[in-house]
Amino acid sequence: MTDGAVTETARVLVAADKFKGSLTAVQVAERVTAGLRRVVPDVSVEALPVADGGDGTVAAAVAAGFERREVRVTGPLGEQLTAAFALREGTAVVEMAEASGLQHLPEGVFAPLTATTYGSGELLRAALDAGARTIVFGVGGSATTDGGAGMLAALGARFLDAAGEPVGPGGGALSDLATADLSGLDPRIADVDLVLASDVDNPLTGPKGAAAVYGPQKGASEEDVAALDAALAHYASVLGPEPADSPGAGAAGGIGYGALIALGASFRPGIEVMLDVLGFADALSRATLVITGEGSLDAQTLHGKAPAGVAAAARAKNIEVIAVCGRLALPPEVLGGAGIRRAYALADLEPDPARSMAEAGPLLERVAQNIARDFLT
């Protein structure tokens, strides 16, 4: 055994997030398992795909045994699409990206001022209809910057201009907001434990706010960012009194703010919530080695991303953690500080980023074989 880290009776837990643009979290687990077993055919491997509240959260819940429920909702551009949420024993996992995510925009098409979260509200309503008593609302990967106004409208709120007419969709139209009437909100929301699960704690507005930090990813120009930030600040002044700098308020284009102020949501780091929901503690109790990872291990990883959460939980139990990734941008001492013994990157096998992404599956199997040789033989 090269690294002398685990015994020949190793029990491996694969708890990795997706490699965005290449592999789902489920596929990552499958490829890692296949690679390990090419070297150690009878090794015990348990797969628990994880997510931090962003896109892929529902898929992780379904892989952990939740039932997948599909519903027709309104997409970010107003089109109809099929979205899914996950349900088990009164707990629903709702992923806003399923309804309002960037993946629903045609390639090269953005709508920073007009994209709406209306469909996310429809997803929440579907979870209520299904009898959910606890809703984990994972937010991230959004195409929107509307402060959650669309979501709230789908749940019965009314946002009116000075003439008493509904304002248009998207964050840009919030500059016309004169009155916010929340009296028509679905009363079932008050009886549900709604958890806002996010990997970011940005405020709603300002230089670290929803528009400034994430607007450019959604096609917003400098002028758009300024307009959206001003519109969100106006929106917050009308809704009040929840501080716009509350942690998580700026998540997913400000949908966090709408959930916190109008729906009574509580904010928790997404990976913490999801590890609880997925039963990670039980799986960890059976493991002697944990393999985690995501597409890029970089500075962002250390701020609430799935691998950092997995490593922290495993370190608390003195269980070794190895990471896999497409690209590695953290030095060994930083990885060690995060509880990760060693990281293996696809880029070490295929330096060309396009080829690495295109061939991520086979490359990840090769990486897993190297892990098996280093830690399991």
For residue 8, the model assigns a pLDDT of 54
The pTM assigned to this predicted structure is 0.92
Cβ atoms within 10 Å of 132's Cβ, excluding its own? 24
Domains assigned to the chain: 11-48+279-375 (3.40.50.10350), 57-271 (3.90.1510.10)
Q: What angle do CA 100, 105, 106 make, to 5 degrees?
A: 165
For residue 66, the model assigns a pLDDT of 97
Residue with tokens 């670290």: 208
Distances from the Cα of 107 to the Cα of 80, 94, 215, 218, 356, angstroms: 17, 25, 17, 12, 21
Question: Which is nearest to 235 in space by CA: 261, 196, 208, 216?
Answer: 261
For residue 245, the model assigns a pLDDT of 84
- Range of weakest confidence among 152-156, 298-302, 333-337, 352-356: 298-302
DSSP assignment letter at 23: B
**What token pair was written down for 365?**
């199997």
Instruction: Tell me the per-residue pLDDT of 60-108, one tens digit each, with 9 for 90 and over.
Output: 999 999 999 999 999 999 999 999 999 999 999 999 999 999 999 999 9
240: β partners? none
